[in-house]
Amino acid sequence: MKSMKVTLLALTLNEIDGIKAIMPQIDRSWVDQILFSDGGSTDGTIEWLKENGYEVHVQKKKGIRHAYLEVLDQIRGDIVLTLSPDGNCPPESIPSLIAKVKEGYDLVIGSRYSDSATSQDDDIVTGFGNWLFTKTVNVLHGAHYKDAMVIYRAFPKSLIYELDLHREESYLLPEKLFGTVISWEPLMSVRAAKRKKKIVEIGVGEPPRIGGHRKLQIFRWGAAYYFQFWRELWFWRPGKVSEPTVRSHAVVEETLP
């Protein structure tokens, strides 16, 4: 099997303190491409990244899912690792997440709650929300997640198309109903379980945020995701990969034990 190339895809919006602290900890030899999708930072984030030789895409549309969808054709890796360089995603776990995908896993989650891992960034509301959403995904869709919501994860690029995460219709109704723009991690977790992909979680924990501020729209996102979880009971069925240019990936039809 040919060597699989890896793209580290990082999302930023006014994260100058975080990137200055986190990016020097990431060995560029770990991956083949480091790509930033920026939501329109005004604090020097974009300028610092370009000055230090990173690829940067500035979003044309606002919202976290557009940060992903607008750069799909710029991703050169066979494997994608997503993170937020704000201190919440411990960079030393990057090689372990990548290694699991190369072993044959279809979704590798850097979990805040597996094993002895904990979140130092949760408050009462977000901690309860993450528990409730993960529990709901498990009950409705036969999954076994400890952390269905986290951004820190690695997967083959082909999974995006196999789960129809690139399609607008996967998000438009909940976004319209609740007046927001949501991300793809919760939907990825749901559809990977429905597709019976080979999934593993690695306990990495969540350190405190460095600088900046949370971008969460807690109640709007929460309502939209919860609606989406129930909608997925009938809205989407596993089918053919809808992107003809996707590289093939060996599929192992297993779920978490």
In a domain, 253, yes or no: no
CATH number at residue 160: 3.90.550.10
Strand 153-156 vs strand 107-111: parallel, antiparallel, or unpaired? Answer: antiparallel
In a domain, 209, yes or no: yes
Across the chain, what does the average pLDDT equal?
A: 90
Average pLDDT over residues 203-221: 80
In a domain, 256, yes or no: no
Sign of CA dihedral 84, 21, 36, 38: positive
Average pLDDT over residues 91-96: 97
Q: What is the pTM of this model?
A: 0.89
In a domain, 250, yes or no: no
In a domain, 247, yes or no: no
Edge-first strand listing for the sheet containing 6-12 = 55-58, 33-38, 6-12, 79-83, 153-156, 107-111, 199-203
Average pLDDT over residues 67-92: 97
Whether the CB-CB separation of 81 and 98 falls below 8 Å is answered with: yes
Percent of the chain with pLDDT over 90: 81
Segments forming the whole domain that contains residue 165: 6-235
In a domain, 255, yes or no: no
What backbone phi and psi angles, to 5 degrees, belong to 81? -120, 120
Average pLDDT over residues 120-130: 87
The model's confidence at residue 253, banded by pLDDT at 50, 70 and 90, is very low
In a domain, 53, yes or no: yes
In a domain, 245, yes or no: no
Most confident of 40-49, 110-119, 204-213: 40-49
What is the distance of C-alpha 168 from the center of its chain?
17
Q: What is the count of structural domains for the chain?
A: 1
